Every structure is written in structure tokens, then in C-alpha cells.
Amino acid sequence: MCLLKTVRILPFLVLLAQTLASTQGSGSASESTTPADAWPQFRGNPSLSGVSGSTLPADLTLQWTYEADEAIDSSAAISGGAVYVGTWAGTLISLDLDTGAERWTYQTGDMGIGESSPAVTGDLVFIGDLGGTFHAVDTETGIARWTFETMGEIKSSPVIIGDRVLIGSYDGYLYALGITDGELIWKYETLNYVHATPAVWDGIAYFGGCDELFHGVRVSDGQEVVSLSAGAYTAASPVITDGKVFFGTFDNEVVGIDLKTHELLWQYEHPRRHFPFYSSALATQDTVVIGGRDKMVHAIDEHTGEALWTFTTQARVDSSPAASGNRIYAGSSDGRLYVLDLDTGEKLWEFDTAAPLVASPAIAESRLVIGSEDGILYCFG
């Protein structure tokens, strides 16, 4: 994760770069709700909304489990009736969504797969490993089509926009690579690790960095269009909805920005419990929901930044919550998967995996898939 400083950073939103004039480019974000039949990347779609159009049963039941070779921090992708997930042993696994039967495994090498989560398009699945290699693997055969070497570990997750795939690295760069051949199209340099996954809106890839800045980079040519002070180290990935972006920081705040004007919409901090936010937020029905290292799931009014409710677990919530309908699905390092009512925060259901849940839920085809720190992949439906 990003290294921390002990000093408080300058107040938020110091404009450092040019405005967003002439920012139209390829790869505008998809709708904020991911279609019901797939969850093809981290947080479901390029805007990282965390919201699925799939309907889950009111009472979830365990459909199957799969015992992997190591811990699972990688969040699953679901596409074409298959599940894809990475493990700390460096294995990318493909399973049948209905049965949990293994389709194939792909070994990245000696280094593991951490939080980097697969992204799927066509007949390719992409993932990064902790040795800094980015892999494009055939979805049918499990054989690599190409690899690309960065100079630092990869914890960011890939985002596919048009004919290119974006990936961040701890070497400080955000890369755009050609999907078919892995050729470098452009790279954008930051001042520290790129840990977060970029969210894309209106042809711009937005992400917070370990350099304490919030970046906007044009997808078409890799040109910086905006750089703002994020107020602190930022490991959490942003979520974009209706031209607004929301993300948590290591300065114990969740912030909202208007992407058209660069105006600070609000800053949220719990009045008593001051802990970092490592989880990535979701945005649905005028509500931003995010997990905190204060052991809470927080629901915040998208317009005002006021707290709507909090739900307390028994350990930090680094897993990023997902939504389906009027329900929130959140994992906790206490080992439990929680189902919460979006309006009230009331607990509707829980399942104890007996191991920390750092990976985030993936939802598609009326199934929810999540991996645990003891290497078990769970499918509920």
C-alpha cells in the first residue's frame, strides 16, 4: 500500500494543472450500473460504480466453494459464464460460474497476484502480478497471448477502454497498452506508486495516487488534463457518477469533486472515529457507500456529504462494497460477508467465512462471488 506520512497535508483542492477544455477522447465510461449478465472488471465497469443490474435472491444460499492454492485478495471477474480470480501463489484461475468446476489455471511466475483483479473483454482476460508483469491470457485455453513488463509491482486493476487497456504500477506510471498485442501506446508518470484503479468518464481516466495528487489523464493520448491535491495519500479507487467523483483517503476523509468545475463538493469524516479509508466507494441512488478501517461501513448523502448511516463490523473494512437493487454487500476482515439495507443500514443477513475478506464482491447472473484470505472462493445465489 501507499507509505504514510505523519503530517497532515495541505487543504484539499489546490488546482495544479490545466482545465478540462478539449478533453473529448476515446473510451467514455459505460453506464453506472453493470449489466446483469457480467461483472467483467474490478467494481464492474469503467466508472467503478460497484453496482450490478443483476438481481440476487432475498435469502442467499451457498452454491459452491473452490479451494485455491493461496490467499485471495484479487476480486473476481465474471464473464461468459466463467469466473476469473488471482491468488497470492501467482495463479490466475478460471471456473465455471454455475458449478465451480475448474476450467483452467495459469501461472504468472514466481511472484503472486495481490489486489490486482482480472478484467475480461472478448477472448482475453488481463491481470497484473506483484513482480510487475502484466498478462493477457486467452479465456478459452488459459495460455498467455502476451505479457508486458513494468518496473514495479502491480496492485492496480486493469480497465479496458476501446482498443486499449489501462494499468497502473508501483513504478509510478499509468500505462495504456494495445489489447491485441500489448504494445505501449503511452505512459503517464506520477510522483509515486500508482496503487488505485482509474475510473473513466468522458474520455478521461481519473485516479488518486500515492503522490497525494488526484490525476486526470486523457485516454486517447495520455496527456494530463488535471491534477489536484488529494489532501493525503490515496490508495482507494474513485467512483464516478453524474460527473462527480468520490474517494476515500488516508487522511480519514471521503471527498467529493465536481469533475466539470473541479469544485470541492464536500468532505466527510466520522465525528469520533478517525481512521483511513482503503476501501473503494460505490455510488447508487444518491448514496455513496464505503468501508473504513474504523470497522464501519459508511453511507453518505451524495449531494450534501452528510452521514446517512453507519454499520459496525468487528474488524477493518478494506473490501469494497457492491450493490444490487436496494441491498449492499460488504466483506469485512472479521471474516463475514454482510448484506445491508441501502436505506437504513440494517443488517439483513451475514455469512461467516472464518477468514478475513479483503477482496470485493462480484455480482452477475444472480450470483455473488468473493474470495477469502484462506484461499476459499465462495459463490452465493
pLDDT tens per residue, range 152-194? 999 999 999 999 999 999 999 999 999 999 999 999 999 999 9
Question: Of 91-100, 187-196, 268-277, 283-292, which gets the smallest average pLDDT?
Answer: 268-277
Q: For residues 144 and 300, give the distance between their C-alpha atoms in angstroms, rounded to a whole number.
A: 42
Question: Quick one: pLDDT at residue 2?
Answer: 62
Taking 80 as the threshold, does the pLDDT of residue 141 lie above it? yes
Taking 50 as the threshold, does the pLDDT of residue 5 lie above it? no
How sure is the predictor about 23, in pLDDT bands with cuts at 50, 70 and 90? very low
How confident is the prediction for the chain on average, in pLDDT?
92
Question: Quick one: pLDDT at residue 159?
Answer: 98
Say how many C-beta atoms besides its own lie within 10 A of residue 11's C-beta: 10
CA angle 16, 48, 339 (to 5 degrees): 130
Q: What is the mean pLDDT of residues 361-371?
A: 98
Q: For the domain 44-57+64-380, what is the CATH superfamily, name and number?
A: YVTN repeat-like/Quinoprotein amine dehydrogenase (2.130.10.10)
- Number of Cα atoms under 13 Å in the Cβ half of residue 175: 27
At 25-68, the pLDDT tens digits run: 333 333 589 999 999 999 999 999 999 999 999 999 999 999 99
Taking 80 as the threshold, does the pLDDT of residue 100 lie above it? yes
Residues 334 and 347: beta-carbon distance below 8 Å: no
Q: What is the mean pLDDT of residues 123-131?
A: 98
At 238-265, the pLDDT tens digits run: 999 999 999 999 999 999 999 999 899 9
Residue that the C-alpha cell 455473488 belongs to: 368
Grid cell locating 362? 462480484
End-to-end CA separation in angstroms for the chain: 33
Three-state SS across 48-76?
A: CCCEECCCCCCCCCEEEEEECCCCCCCCC
Contacts of 303 (CB under 8 A, 6+ apart): 265, 286
3-state secondary structure of 201: strand
Taking 80 as the threshold, does the pLDDT of residue 215 lie above it? yes
3-state secondary structure of 362: strand
Residue that the C-alpha cell 472462493 belongs to: 377
Question: Quick one: pLDDT at residue 271?
Answer: 87
Higher pLDDT among residues 66 and 11, named by residue: 66
| DSSP secondary structure letters along 79-132 | ETTEEEEE-TTSEEEEEETTT--EEEEEE--SS---S---EEETTEEEEE-TTS
Question: Quick one: pLDDT at residue 1?
Answer: 57
Q: For residues 284 and 326, give the distance between their C-alpha atoms in angstroms, rounded to a whole number.
A: 9
Domain residue spans in the chain? 44-57+64-380
Taking 80 as the threshold, does the pLDDT of residue 374 lie above it? yes
How sure is the predictor about 4, in pLDDT bands with cuts at 50, 70 and 90? very low
Taking 90 as the threshold, does the pLDDT of residue 22 lie above it? no
- Number of Cα atoms under 13 Å in the Cβ half of residue 180: 2
Question: Quick one: pLDDT at residue 16?
Answer: 34
At 224-233, the pLDDT tens digits run: 999 988 878 8
